[in-house]
């Protein structure tokens, strides 16, 4: 079939005016290998239609198979919901047990007995404990003294290293004043001031 005739059939097809016979002619034509380049897009469209025509129709018991599969999945889902129910109930029971235990703990909880009835002895014991804690803290800070000395040496070293930098910066400031003076005296500035 000539490409001009195919173009006319395609126009009828895209305008929804073609018959089934014309559509079959188009489908047969686009199954061929030798097709002009400007019709390759149409070949892809008809190739898709011919491929989708190969999809088989569902069997007569297709609907029943779907319903059976849904029932089976629903039955598999039920134990999961029971398990969630058991977990929720166990959580509630654990919460109630904690609340009940807390209630009885605070109800029968008593203050520890006073270990010292004489306030002077209590004060002396407290001071003894505080002196012990103080001695231990002092021992701990003594171990850190070398680190403090290292920091002092580092600070002194940095000051020594920075001295030449400070001297150079001061000398550069005098050059900066000199540069500004030269800019003011430069011939370009003199000409500007004369104009």
Residues with Cβ < 8 Å from 142, sequence gap 6 or more? none
Model pLDDT, residue 112: 62
- Nearest residue to 39 (alpha-carbon basis) of 87, 75, 3: 3
Read off the pLDDT band of 96 (50, 70, 90): very high
What is the tens place of the pLDDT at every residue in 42-88?
Answer: 878 777 666 555 566 777 888 888 888 887 777 766 666 677 888 88
Query: Each residue of 115-143: pLDDT tens digit?
Result: 677 888 888 888 999 999 988 888 877 77
Q: What is the 3-state secondary structure (H, E, C) of the chain?
A: CCHHHHHHHHHHHHCCCCCHHHHHHHHHHHHCCCCCHHHHHHHHHHHHHHHHCCCCCCCCCHHHHHHHHHHHHHHHHHHHHHHHHHHHHHHHHHHHHHHHHHHHHHHCCCCCCCCCCCHHHHHHHHHHHHHHHHHHHHHHHHCCHHHHHHHHHHHHHHHHHHHHHHHHHHHHHHHHHHHHHHHHHCHHHHHHHHC
Do 6 and 29 touch, CB atoms closer than 8 A? yes
Q: Which pLDDT value is given to residue 53?
A: 57
**Cβ neighbours of residue 3 closer than 8 Å, sequence gap 6 or more:** 36, 39
Q: What is the pLDDT of residues 152-179, one digit of tens each?
A: 888 888 888 888 888 888 888 877 777 7
pLDDT digits (tens, 9 = 90+) for 10-43: 888 888 888 888 888 888 887 777 788 887 788 7
């Amino acid at each position: 079939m000539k490409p001009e005739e195919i173009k006319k059939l395609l126009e009828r097809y895209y305008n929804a005016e073609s018959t089934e016979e014309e559509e079959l002619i188009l489908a047969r034509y686009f199954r061929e290998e030798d097709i002009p380049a400007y019709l390759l897009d149409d070949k892809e469209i008809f190739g898709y239609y011919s491929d989708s025509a190969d999809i088989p129709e569902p069997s007569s018991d297709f609907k029943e198979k779907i319903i059976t599969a849904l029932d089976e999945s629903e039955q598999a889902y039920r134990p999961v919901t029971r398990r969630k129910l058991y977990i929720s109930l166990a959580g509630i029971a654990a919460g109630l047990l904690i609340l009940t235990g807390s209630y009885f703990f605070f109800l029968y909880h008593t203050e520890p007995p006073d270990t010292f009835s004489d306030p002077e002895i209590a004060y002396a014991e407290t001071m003894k404990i505080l002196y012990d804690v103080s001695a231990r803290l002092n021992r701990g800070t003594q171990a850190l003294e070398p680190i403090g000395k290292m920091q002092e040496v580092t600070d002194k070293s940095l000051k020594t290293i920075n001295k030449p930098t400070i001297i150079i910066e001061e000398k550069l400031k005098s050059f900066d004043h000199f540069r500004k003076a030269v800019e003011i005296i430069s011939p370009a500035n003199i000409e500007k001031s004369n104009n």
